[in-house]
Amino acid sequence: MEALVEEAATYEKCLEKIQEKYGPNVIISRIENGKAGGLRGWLGKNSVRLVFTIQNKPFVPKAAKEDKEEDSHQKTPDTYVKHTPSFVPPDEKTARMVILQHAASQSGEIAKKITPFIKREENQKESDFLLQNDDLRRLTETVKKLTEQINEKRGFSSEHENIKKITQILEENDFTNGYIYSLCEKINNELSLNELDDFEVLQKKVIGWIADSILIKQESEIVKGKVISLVGPTGIGKTTTLAKLAAYHVLAVSKKLGRFLEVRVITLDQYRIGASFQIQKYCEHMKIPLAIADSPGDLNKYLSLYKNSADVICIDTTGRSPTDTENILKMQSYFEVIDKENAETHLIVSAVTKTADIREIMKQYGGFKYSSLIITKLDETSNTGSIISILSEYNIPAAYITTGQKVPNDIERASKAVFLKKLKGFNLKNGYQNYIKENFNDEIPILWK
């Protein structure tokens, strides 16, 4: 038999629609609950869908009311038999199970109370008695009232003052609508009414969830000939960032490992004279050899030359607009000669770039198979919500952040704390910054000397 669906605001209205339209010859097989509409989805109104099948009896629909014109495409009895069902009261066991399952789906609290009854019903033998329609309605009404009472006690509503306050804080920090929606869902699903009423507790819960959503890339082991490549659009400080990374390995990582690291730089940006001159001056100052590769063949030659003599090989690429698909694809051809086993590619994005533009950049540069993001210009924005939203949305970690133009100082390893500390609007008793320092202090300072 063909399964069909009808939807309405409540179970009773849905059942009434089925009976009015299709008559008394259907079997209800499942009740589904959901929400419809609402600015952020989770604030939408409850809805009920009944899944049902028709029996083999044909059904002639009721005559149209006198004050309504008949549809010009009238349906024949055969049409209704094929496409529309009617209602037949289920047997007692099935009816009870449908109602109990419907009740359990309304609330975790209800589910705990009636799960034993559901299990008991599942173990009972099939009953020979039929549950009358009036009994079914009365049982449904009882479930509805119980659900309303529990929902009133829980108090999860878009009108709750603390939900409004949290939503406003998230919006002021420039989190995306999708990110705010996910946090509101967690509030709705995981917090008790007491926790929701206590704004101090609610804030700490939300801060913890935000921290959990920030992925941080751990530095990989330095293996001889390790390749670090930077890709990204123009105007985001890519070349300066490469110089900082080279200096970081020469100075800080060498100090940490207790041995001097041999670093080499290869630039593919032969077209931008200014950028090539800039990286050349940086390399001269740090006494790092620089090579310019004009083709994939050139790049392969230098990689082969350095793989046994250099600890780290940094590759600077030509900056391209995200809309310059042709040249982005050409740049990808260079990466075909890189040994992926000992290489990592970082996509550079600016903290001041709009979220929609970052999404487009990530899409256009996806062919480079980058494993993490480097966030530049974090010092130029007071809002980190958009970057945190991107990290969460794409499930991608941050590797480094830059906060100025100074080489090598204005770079640091990414951490949850560096993003959390820039959030504003949270008001905790002992101070927001103190709370972050005490609970999310994962910053790793770079020792340059």
Confidence of residue 129 (pLDDT cuts 50, 70, 90): very low
Lay out the sheet containing 26-36: strands in order across. 3-8, 45-54, 26-36
**Does the pLDDT value for residue 76 go beyond 70?**
no
**Does the pLDDT value for residue 396 go beyond 70?**
yes
Q: What is the mean pLDDT of residues 272-284?
A: 74
- Enumerate the β-bridge partners of residue 91: 130
Q: What is the mean pLDDT of residues 17-25?
A: 75
Using DSSP's 3-state secondary structure scheme, residue 266 falls into: strand
260: tokens are 């001097």
**What pLDDT score was predicted for residue 17?**
84
Q: What is the mean pLDDT of residues 291-307?
A: 93
Q: What is the mean pLDDT of residues 32-41?
A: 58
CA-CA distance, 99 to 148, in Å (whole number)? 15
**What pLDDT score was predicted for residue 198?**
95
Residue 330 Cα to chain centre, angstroms: 31
| pLDDT tens string 317-337 | 877 777 778 888 888 889 999
Sign of CA dihedral 92, 97, 100, 101: negative
One DSSP character per residue, 368-393 reads G---EEEEE-GGG-S--HHHHHHHHH
CATH of the domain spanning 226-414, picked from 3.40.50.11890, 3.40.50.2000, 3.40.50.300, 3.40.640.10: 3.40.50.300
Q: What is the mean pLDDT of residues 383-407?
A: 94
- Enumerate the β-bridge partners of residue 346: 230, 372
Please count the other Cβ atoms lying within 10 Å of the Cβ belonging to residue 248: 24
CA-CA distance, 136 to 134, in Å (whole number)? 5
**Does the pLDDT value for residue 277 go beyond 70?**
yes
**What pLDDT score was predicted for residue 386?**
96
CA-CA distance, 181 to 152, in Å (whole number)? 22
Q: What is the pTM of this model?
A: 0.66
C-alpha to C-alpha distances, 420 to 247, 287, 431, nearest whole angstrom:
27, 37, 13
CA-CA distance, 100 to 116, in Å (whole number)? 10
Q: Average the pLDDT over each of 5-19, 161-175, 289-303 and give the range with the smallest value.
A: 5-19
* Burial of residue 17, with CB atoms counted within 10 A of its CB: 0-12 exposed, 13-18 middle, 19 or more buried: middle
**Does the pLDDT value for residue 29 go beyond 80?**
no
